[in-house]
Chain A
Amino acid sequence: MENLSHLDLLLLNENQLKKKSISKENFSVLNLLKLIDDRESFNSDFFMYHFESTLIAFYERIKDNTRFNLYKEIIKKHLEFQISEKTIEDIKKELIKLLEQEFGSKDSQDFIIKKLI
Chain B
Amino acid sequence: MHTEIASEIIEYLHQKFPHSSIALAGSVANGTYKKNSDIDLLFINEHINNSYSISFNYKDIPISIFSFQKGIFHTHNYTFLYNYHNMPIAYIYNAKIIYDSEKIIFDLKNKIEEVFEKREILKSPFISELKENIENLLSLNTQTYYEKKKVVYRIINTMISIFFLKRHNRGALVKTEAHDPFSVIKNKDFELYNILKECLPFHDRTYQMIKEVYYNYFSLNY
Within 8 Å CB of B50, what residues of A? Answer: 14, 17-18, 115-116
Complexed CA–CA distance, A58 and B16 (Å):
38
- Residue A95 is within 8 A (CB to CB) of chain B in the complex: no
Complexed CA–CA distance, A79 and B202 (Å):
10
Within 8 Å CB of B202, what residues of A? Answer: 49, 52, 82-83
Count of CB-CB pairs between chains A and B under 8 Å: 116
Within 8 Å CB of B179, what residues of A? Answer: 41-42, 50
Contact of B197 among A11, A14, A42, A45 (CB under 8 A): A45
Complexed CA–CA distance, A99 and B198 (Å):
34
In the complex, are the beta carbons of B146 and A80 less than 8 A apart? yes
Within 8 Å CB of A80, what residues of B? Answer: 144-146
Told that A41-B176, A112-B56 touch, could you supply 13 new A-B pairs with CB distance under 8 A?
A1-B57, A7-B13, A7-B65, A12-B17, A17-B67, A45-B182, A56-B153, A80-B144, A82-B204, A83-B201, A110-B56, A111-B54, A117-B79
Which residues of B are at the interface with A, using a C-beta cutoff of 8 A? 8-9, 12-13, 16-17, 20, 43, 45, 47-59, 65-68, 72, 76, 79, 87-88, 144-146, 149-150, 153, 156-157, 176, 179-180, 182-183, 196-197, 200-204
